[in-house]
Each structure stands twice: as structure tokens, then as C-alpha cells.
Structure 1
């Protein structure tokens, strides 16, 4: 796995994780406005378990508004549905899941991975071809490392390795910390959708936090 050259880092981009999708219609209605208001690199789609036909139909309905806005649509798992639904790739949990999925995703589609408990697993994910690694997401019991531990892992990765890294932020404060640490992407989820002011305001706060972090650490901001 190639180590990263000492170049200026671009401003981290948002990675948006909506609530689990059953009926896609509400999300189809709200996504275009959200994606046009802030810089979103990708949307991570979590599908409620249903028959494959129903899940494929949901993805096919959501793909155009995401892709038309210039973002990638990734499925949380469900690798077998990616090609049939028009998604751009999949996010896998754990090194074994990534290795199993790579033959069906590469070279045409995105393969991201989280659930990497150790530095060794993270490095191995980069070596086998992950398009990004995610740090800080909750485990199966809903537990997460501390903000400081996540930021430390992001900084370690960003300084040494070529594949992009993403930080799972549970608040604008965490978005700031992870952008400052060197994340390429900041994944935002539940706190955006539960904000009483609405998702657009919460997303704007997250983007502002990222930009403030880059302004405070210009060596990590690079080019706008």
C-alpha cells in the first residue's frame, strides 16, 4: 500500500447517512435540496430488510437524485444488489466482508469499509483495495471510541497512507475534530435528522465546522 506524499489536503467533504429507508418517497423529496445546499460527496443508504425486488426498487428510485447532484450512492452492505440497482458501490463492515465483496465490486464500483478494530486490519483493508476506510462508527452494541481516540486514528491514517479516510461524526463538534485531524470525508447521520431545526440547518452546521477546522489548520485544508 502506497504511503501518502506530503501534499496539501483538500477540504474534507460530507458523507451523508440518512435514516434506514423503508419507503423512499420522503427521502426522494428532501434529498435534492440537501445535496444542493452543501458539498456532499456520497450518500450511504441503509435499507430496511425486505424482498430483493422491493429493495432494488427503492435504490433505483433514490439513485437519480443523488447522482444528479454529483454524489455517489453507496449501499450499506447488500453487495449483491449494487450492480442490479444502479448504486455506485457498497460500504462493508469488517475486513472479511470487504475481502469477500471486492471481486464483485472492483474495478467499476466503490468499496468502502468500516468496523476496523485494529491498525493492522485498517492497513490490510488499504492493501487489498478499499477505496476508503471509516473510523468511529458505533459497533453492534452502539458503543463508539472517544472523540479523541477517533481523531488520533484519523490523524495516524491521514499522515501515512494514500487511501482516503472518513470519520463518523455524531455532532458538529466531532466534525470539527475529525476535519482537523485530517479526515478526507466526515460521515454525518442521526444528529442531522433529529435536529429540531431540520436537517438543512444541521448539515450547514456540520459543513461550517469542517471549514472552521480547515481555517484553523491550513496545512490540512489545502485547496478549496
Structure 2
């Protein structure tokens, strides 16, 4: 999908599988990227050491960027810089986030995660990251998105113009629940990569079809 034809509604962010063989992970992500519109790909540390995380990033980066998908590395600015990723996803304090953003000086996009409360969201938002993320990697273990994250997203979307990403659940329908909060992005991992919703490509296609049909439009 060209940049001039981006959907006017909540878009999909993929969180790569946090565990497993690098080759299997790459195959799953490659399949998912064939399924339709994806805004960005976050590569989580999961159970990987630094060398494995970098190797996975090096394998996934060209596949994603060839599709116009931004690649974010979790909590490692050095690896993000080495492989020329688009950005970093950080779970850290507001003070450290501000320091990291100042140090990077626009060389990398920066996302702010690990948010549990409104106060945390506002504190991190003051540093002006590229997005705030409601949810924690690996906690998409129920069909629905966590109600706390949905409430935070609804509040944030009404009050703040800074984009927000919300973690969905294992059910594809959770993407629509996120979209209905007016969040900018829904992040999915298990729903796409665990196989319950078909191949990763089929799961991504189903998410996009659901959002195309039923998600509120930002211009409405």
C-alpha cells in the first residue's frame, strides 16, 4: 500500500514473536507482511541475548522496510543504530526517556512503553516520544485487550494528539475494540503468530478487513 493510500483509521503494529528459532521467526514475520497493511514492526528482546537480537533485526529489517514498514528495536539503541532500524521502543523512566530523546536528536524514532496509569502516560508524553504504548509485551494472553489499556487509550485519544498504540488480545476482534477507542494503532503478536487465526498472512488480512469494514474513521 502506498503512503498516499494509508487507511484513515486505526492501523496494525506487529510485535515479532518474542521467543523461538530466528529462522522460524523470520518466516512468520515474512508471512505476516504479505497479509496487508502494517504500520510498523517492533522486535522485542524476549528471551534473546544481544547477539541474537541483532541477528534477528538484521534479518527482518530489509523484509519490513521493503514493504514500507518501520522497524523498532526494544530497549537497545546500540543495536537499532548498528542495523539502521527506524527506531527504538523504550520502557524506562520519564527522565531517562527525555535524556534518550535528546541524545538521539531525531536520528531514531522513539516509542514509550510500560505505561500503567494516566500519570505515567502524561509524564512520558512530556518528553514528546513518537508514540506512547499501552500494554506490556507478552501480556496478550487473553482473547480481549486489557480493559485498563482500552480506558487509557480512550482517555488519551480524547485529550492528547500524540499517537498511541494499544496492545490487543489473542482474538482478531480485539483489534476493533482498540480502534473504537480512537487509538492510532493496535499492536498484535499472539493473534497473528500463534496460529489460532490461520497463517500470519491470513491473520493480518483478517485484521485489516475487520478494520476496513468497521473501525471509526479519524476524519469522521
- Asked if the contact 2:33/2:67 (under 8 Å) is kept, the reply is yes
Task: Indicate the residue corresponding to 2:187 in structure 1.
Answer: 187
Q: Select the residue among 30, 42, 50 that pairs with 2:40.
A: 42
Instruction: Determine helix, strand or coil for the equivalent of 1:183.
Output: coil
- Residue range with higher mean Cα deviation, 173-182 or 9-18: 9-18
2:110–2:129: 8 Å Cα contact kept in structure 1? yes
Encode CA deviations 1:13-40: one digit per residue, 9 max, x unaligned. 1100121256433343443442232110
Q: Which runs of 4+ in 1 moved over 6 A?
A: none
- Per mean C-alpha deviation after superposition, the further-off stretch among 122-131 and 14-23 is 14-23
Shift of residue 191, structure 1, vs aligned partner? 2.2
Q: Which residue of 2 aligns with 1:105?
A: 104
Gaps of 5+ in 2: 1-6
Contact 1:176 1:210 in 2 (8 A): yes
* RMSD over equivalenced CA pairs, Å: 2.7
Shift of 1:124: 2.0
Normalised to the residue count of structure 2, the TM-score between the two structures is 0.81
8 Å Cα contact 1:102-1:111 kept in structure 2:
yes
Deviations 1:53-93 (CA, angstroms, capped at 9, x unpaired): 55333322221111111001111111222111211111111
Equivalent residue number for residue 214 of structure 2: 213
Quote the residue 1:118 is aligned against.
117
Structure 1 match to 2:219:
222
Question: 1:221, CA displacement in angstroms?
Answer: 3.8
- Show structure 1 runs of 5+ residues with no match: 1-8
Q: In the TM superposition, what are the counterparts of 1:1-224 in structure 2 within 5 Å?
A: 10-20=8-18, 23-47=21-45, 48-50=47-49, 52-96=50-94, 97-137=96-136, 147-170=146-169, 171-196=171-196, 197-214=198-215, 217=216, 220-222=217-219
| SS of alignment partner, residue 162 of structure 2 | coil
Task: Specify whether residues 25 and 205 from structure 1 end up closer, same or farther in structure 2 by C-alpha distance, changes over 3 A only.
Answer: same
Would you say how many aligned residue pairs link Structure 1 and Structure 2? 208
The CA deviation at 1:43 is 0.5
1: CA distance between counterparts of 2:138 and 2:123? 20
Tell me, yes or no, if the aligned pair for 2:29 and 2:200 is still in contact at 8 Å.
Answer: no
Q: What TM-score, normalized by structure 1, do the two folds share?
A: 0.80
